Chain A
Amino acid sequence: MDRFKIVQFYALLRREVLEHRNLFIGAPAVVALLILVATFWVAMQIDETQLAEGLSYISVLFDGLSPFDMAPFFMLLAIPFMLTLYISSVIYLINTLFQDRKEMSILFWQSMPVSNLQTVLSKVFTIVIVAPIFYVLNIFAMYLIGMILLTILGVSNDVDLVGIGWMFLAAIASLVLIYFSALVTSLWLLPSIGWLLLFSAFAKKTPLLWAGGVFILVGFFEDFIFGTQYLADWVQSRAANPNQYLIFEFQSLLERIFNYETLFGIVVGSILITGAVYMRRFTD
């Protein structure tokens, strides 16, 4: 790939982030703020002596432990962010190829020497690779602010801060796990990403209704004609597999990606994404 193509693709990703900054930057920032405010409010309800004792206890607990071993503990804090990311992703995917057709700015985007394949791939890349980076950065900012508050509290109550430092390292290590969790989940859910993009590119109105409605219809006809429910069972088995949504240890990363079910999903997702590229070809 030549340098110009890389610059072009970077510009496409930048466009996505700028257009959807509320979903990728604003939404996790609000979640981080809510968690910080809630934590601060709870801390205000506790007696300062008890708070200092609790802080000492945590400091001792984390002192000398491997940040990578303790990282999974912080994964629980990531759950609200992951949920927000998934909701934001659905909103993004169902609108991203629909909105510019609706407001006619597609005529401008299509007047540039950028192929539909590049455009659609930039959207997939945004949701799989780029959006989780912004969520992780928000979580990092939240940890940093929390750590500064804990440090101030610790210093004012003569608490040994070494353990708190270890805790911060564990929190940082958890960011890597959170990022890979989001990445693996995106690959696991690639058929859903392809499906939403397909109807975002196809529908002239209410793309979410099309995406949901056609899925229900296909399932209904399968049941009606063949008497089977393979589609519904397959989707349910994938949606209800919590192992694919959070990674608690680094060792399991590769086996989460390179397994038959994930790879099959990637193939199905790629076919649907190809359909979205085809749908994008013409504006009429």
Chain B
Amino acid sequence: MSNIVEARSLRKNYGNFTALDGVDLTIPSGAISGLIGPNGAGKTTTLKALIGLCDVDGELSVTGRDPRKARHKLMEDVCFIADVGILPKWLKVSQLIDYVEAVHPRFDRKKAEKFLSTTDIPSNKRIKELSKGMVTQLHLALVMSIEVQLLVLDEPTLGLDIIYRKEFYDRLLNDYYDGNRTIIISTHQVEEIETLLSHLLFINKGKIVLDTLMSELSQVYTEVLVDADKMAEADACGPIHVRELLGKKSYTFESVLKERLEVLGELQTPSVADLFVAKLKEDRHG
């Protein structure tokens, strides 16, 4: 599988604040990749760097191009949705579609109109008159009607209620993703996208702290709910994280043989949210 994104040693400072501190990442073509991190971890800066909206140091290649050199050419192959508020509020829905049709060579107007016909979005309304959920639906309808290799989503469902959020990801998976396109999603709502992902990236303090395929997650990470009498034994296996759970302790291990762990209790693969907490605490405590 070839990589659609390759980045080496990306660095970016905003004054004294280091937003990216040597980010290395590769994203395989056709993956649905989740970029997860706490506030200020460098998610948005990373995504903006990938589409040429942020000047960074380091090596960077997206769809074989350097985004810093020809953003407009890159954007023929890449679509981007940021926080819901970015569509120009003064435009009418129909004017927005006219604009995208005129400037994007790979936009299919009929497809966009078909998507919009399944929503309550009126074409004669200005964007400022639409609800947040409608604006997101509209933006998604636009990008789903553009034939691109890579879709970059930065907190696309921020501020939306659960119905819109679920519909957003359902549409993305059922109507857009075809196995060939690559999607990168950055979000706080890890649980909602966990089942969609095929590739996982954790970022913290401007560094990638985890870069793995979801299919490899279960081989590397193991969670065990350990009884009190086996805790000393579990501690000896070098857990990366331990948390209290209903009078027991849940241990998360990285690259420890399953045979060693089986005696401690029932093994399971940690959820992305639990692994995220574990890796961040590990990163914090060294």
Which chain A residues have a beta carbon within 8 Å of chain B's beta carbons?
Answer: 4, 7-8, 10-12, 14-15, 18-19, 100, 103-116, 118, 281-284
Contact = CB atoms under 8 A, between A and B. Distances in A.
A8 B74 CA distance: 16
Contact of B73 (A106, A113, A284): A113
Contacts, number: 88
A110 B51 CA distance: 9
Contacts of A103: 85, 88-89
Contacts of A8: 102-103
Given A112-B75, A113-B75, A104 B90 contact: no
Nearest to B70: A115
B75 A111 contact: yes
A90 to B, nearest CB: 20
A111 B55 contact: no
A116 B14 CA distance: 23
Question: Is the interface on chain B under 10, 10 to 19, 20 to 34, or 35 or more residues?
Answer: 35 or more
A111 B51 contact: yes
A77 to B, nearest CB: 32
Given A11-B98, A111-B80, A18 B91 contact: yes
B53 A283 contact: yes
A282 B56 CA distance: 10
A116 B82 CA distance: 19
A114 B103 contact: yes
Contacts of B102: 7-8, 10-11, 14
Contacts of A115: 71-72
- Secondary structure call for the A interface: helix
Given A111-B81, A284-B55, 11 more contacts: A15-B99, A105-B87, A106-B86, A107-B80, A108-B82, A108-B139, A109-B88, A113-B73, A113-B76, A116-B72, A283-B48
Nearest to A100: B88
Interface of B: 14, 45, 48, 51-55, 71-76, 79-83, 85-91, 95, 98-100, 102-105, 139
A107 B88 contact: no
Nearest to A117: B72
Contacts of B88: 19, 100, 103, 105, 108-109
Nearest to A281: B55
A83 to B, nearest CB: 26
B72 A114 contact: yes
Which 3 residue pairs spanning A and B have beta carbons closest together?
Answer: A11-B102, A115-B72, A111-B80
B91 A104 contact: no
Contact of A282 (B53, B76, B79, B105): B53
Contacts of A106: 86
B60 to A, nearest CB: 14
Tell which of B48, B71, B89 has the most Cβ of chain A within 10 Å. Answer: B71
A116 to B, nearest CB: 8
B85 A104 contact: yes
B48 A284 contact: yes
A111 to B, nearest CB: 4
Contacts of B81: 111
A119 to B, nearest CB: 9
Nearest to B83: A104
Tell which of B14, B75, B76, B99 has the most Cβ of chain A within 10 Å. Answer: B99
Given A112-B100, A114-B103, A104 B86 contact: yes
A114 to B, nearest CB: 5
Given A18-B95, A284-B48, A110 B53 contact: yes
B50 to A, nearest CB: 12
A88 B102 CA distance: 27
Contacts of B14: 284
B73 A282 contact: no
A107 B76 contact: no
Contacts of B95: 18
B216 to A, nearest CB: 32
B138 to A, nearest CB: 11
Contacts of A15: 99
Given A18-B90, A107-B53, A113 B105 contact: yes
Nearest to A4: B105
11 contacts: A14-B102, A18-B95, A100-B88, A103-B85, A103-B88, A105-B88, A110-B51, A112-B75, A113-B74, A284-B48, A284-B54
Contact of B71 (A19, A100, A110, A284): A110
Nearest to A21: B90
Contacts of A118: 72
B94 to A, nearest CB: 11
Tell which of A8, A113, A281, A282 has the most Cβ of chain B within 10 Å. Answer: A113
Contacts of B139: 108
B55 A282 contact: yes
Tell which of B88, B90, B95 has the most Cβ of chain A within 10 Å. Answer: B88
Contacts of A7: 102
A14 B87 CA distance: 17
